[in-house]
Amino acid sequence: MTPIPPAALFSLIQANWPASFLFRLCVQAVNGVYNRSAAAIRARVGDPDFYAVVEALQRIQQAGGMGLRVEGVKGESLVVFQRPVDEATEADRQLIRQKLGLNPDAKEFRLAFGAVAQNDREIAVLTRSML
């Protein structure tokens, strides 16, 4: 089976599926920060930063501070940090930017499939196959 498209994953998050559950289950890495893997060939412990990002993402989701937008003919997906909700949510956004090497001032990030981002305005998500 092919991996889950990152846009589908973020669409589920926008539909209020818990971000922490989805990331732990469906994501192998985001911007080079790796999740735990129990696969015999690639067994590894998760990076502590992965779990910090996942928990911050969960809090941002609960505060309604993130969305997904699809644009253009190609259907490019953008993760958008919406208007500031409160100081705690903004602190979580900054934590995610710092841990994932994202531009600290950007409000929109291009969503891509892969383990490593092309630049500081891209969130590269290496998703898992459900097989």
Q: Give residue 21's pLDDT.
A: 96
Answer for the pair 116, 128: CB distance below 8 angstroms, yes or no. Answer: no
pTM above 0.85, yes or no: yes
Q: Which residues contact 4 (CB under 8 A, 6 or more apart)?
A: 26, 127, 128, 129, 130
Q: Is the model's pLDDT at 131 over the cut of 70?
A: no
Write down the residue that tokens 């997904």 correspond to.
68
- Measure CA 35 to chain center: 12
Tell me what the pLDDT averaged over the chain comes to: 89
Q: Model confidence over 1-32: pLDDT tens digits?
A: 789 999 999 999 989 999 999 999 999 999 99
Residue spans of the domains in the chain: they are 6-127
Q: What is the pLDDT of residues 101-121, one digit of tens each?
A: 999 999 899 999 999 999 999
